[in-house]
Amino acid sequence: MTTLADLTLTDEQAMLVSMVREFAQKELLPQAVAIDREARFPRETFQKLAELGLLGLPIPEEFEGAGCDTVTTIMVIEELARCCGSTALGVAAHTSLVTAPIFMFGNDEQRRKYVPDLASGRKLGAFGLTEPNAGSDAGGTQTTAVRDGDDWILNGAKIFITNANYADTFIATAVTDASLPAKGGITSFILERGTAGFSINKGDEKLGMRGSDWGELHFQECRVPSSQVLGEVGQGFTNFMVTLDGGRVGIAALATGLAVGAYDLSVAYAQERQAFGKPIAAKQAIAFKLADMAVGIEAARLLVRNAAERRDAGKPYSREAAIAKLFASEMAMDVTSDAIQIHGGYGFTTEYHVERMYRDAKLCTIGEGTSEVQRIVISRDILNDSD
């Protein structure tokens, strides 16, 4: 049980959080070390998450989602990450990067066709933005889509795509008008597994998030009808910036969850482990580390909640999302590193979870915009504000 203060919750939120906490402890934690070691995507776990209604949290019930607000959604992500970062990442990518944008930007027909299958978890989603030569600089996308009658023909490749090998529904961005800047020149497409000219490769071995799947998407003369354009032609850049704002709040919650997991283990271990005749927690050097961990976690939670509340209130929240993601992911690196230190040599082994959490936390400083990119977003907002 955490010694951290819980944020104020409604009865409904408290029930959901407690259900997810129990599920994560019972189902995710016991397999987290194994799926990390084997780099195995736990498909069966996603089936269970679907049965619990956790794969469409922010989507209205009419579309087979849970109808939750952002504040509730991020609490669930934090709880999942507390036990298994990989599972939380798969859920966050599926929800924030695929289901939510199809719901937000899709037309009626697209919403009806794709959202219920995704929100119910019958199908899994993957979002293809990053390319071999365009990551932070996503406006430098090289994948192209050329109009041919009522169709578009896609050529290019995407890398590091979460859920790629298990997803059925994909969003991918492509340049549709090279004469325009990224804003105006890029379009998002919805793609289905099995489309001719669209293939998926396994990704490379990775440092952390090893139980989360990733892969490469390849488009070779891939023909899709114009009904697969998500939103308007030329709106891709603007739409994925909006999508990433939402995604960043999720990654910030995920980072917070990893830190809470490492903190919980550290508090317990520091009281059990004896050195020089006393529990190591009796040493101020260790107790102060626990204090610093708690401070970082509480601050991150408040920042994440602030961004989520602004989103729910329909207020601008790009800056707050970037602040939350930057702070929470850097905090998670510090907390998980300190957790290993508190565990000493045992922390360096794979059995004690904290080294896995440390490796998983690193993703949070890279995915959905690196820490440097968050600083760009925040400083641009500051400087525009002062104009």
User: Any idea which residues carry the catalytic annotation?
Assistant: 368
Q: Does 252 sit near ligand FAD (CB under 6 A)?
A: no
Token pair of 369 as six digits: 């915009």
* Structure tokens that stand for 9 in this block: 């919750």
| Whole-angstrom distance, CA of residue 47 vs CA of residue 51 | 6
Using rule CB under 6 A, residue 366 touches ligand FAD? yes
Binding of residue 128 to ligand FAD (CB under 6 A)? yes
Determine the Cα–Cα distance for residues 369 and 129; give it in Å rounded to an integer.
11
Is residue 156 involved in binding ligand FAD (CB under 6 A)? no
Q: Specify whether the CB–CB gap between 324 and 300 falls below 8 A.
A: yes
Interface with ligand FAD includes 221 (CB under 6 A)? no
209 belongs to the binding site for ligand FAD (CB under 6 A): yes
Q: Is 379 in the site for ligand FAD (CB under 6 A)?
A: no
What distance in Å separates the CA atoms of residue 162 and residue 91, rounded to the nearest whole number? Answer: 10
Pick out residues in 162-201 that bind ligand FAD (CB under 6 A).
Answer: 162
Among 160, 237, 317, 327, binds ligand FAD (CB under 6 A): 160
Report the residue from 363, 364, 377, 378 that binds ligand FAD according to the rule CB under 6 A: 363
Minimum CB–partner distance for residue 207 and ligand FAD (Å): 8
Q: Produce one character per residue of 215-242: b if its CB has 16 or more CB atoms within 10 Å, e if not.
A: bbbbbeebbbeeebbbbebbbbbbbbbb
Task: Tell me whether residue 329 is exposed, middle or buried, using C-beta atoms within 10 angstroms of its C-beta: 0 to 12, 13 to 18, 19 or more.
Answer: buried
Strand, helix or coil for residue 255 = helix
- Output the six-digit token pair for 202: 């396994």
Please identify which residue in 68, 77, 124, 161 interacts with ligand FAD, judged by CB under 6 A: 161
Q: Three-state SS across 55-81?
A: CCCCCCHHHCCCCCCHHHHHHHHHHHH
**Under rule CB under 6 A, which residues in 279-338 are in contact with ligand FAD?**
none
- The separation between CA 345 and the C-alpha centre of its own chain, rounded to angstroms, equals 30
Nearer to ligand FAD, 264 or 355 (CB): 355
* CA dihedral (131, 136, 141, 142) positive or negative: negative
Nearest distance from C-beta of residue 309 to ligand FAD, angstroms: 25
Residue (165 or 306) nearer to ligand FAD, CB: 165
- Cβ closest to ligand FAD, residue 129 vs residue 281: 129
Among 114, 127, 237, 269, binds ligand FAD (CB under 6 A): 127
Smallest gap from Cβ 65 to ligand FAD, in A, equals 20
State which residue, 62 or 372, has the beta carbon closest to ligand FAD. 372
**Least distance in Å: CB of 138 to ligand FAD?**
7
Q: Which is nearer to ligand FAD, 264 or 368 (CB)?
A: 368
Helix, strand, coil: what percent of the chain each, to 5?
60, 15, 25
Decide whether 161 or 200 has the Cβ nearer to ligand FAD.
161
Which chain residues interact with ligand FAD by CB under 6 A?
Answer: 93, 127-130, 135-137, 160-162, 209, 214, 363, 366-370, 372-373, 376
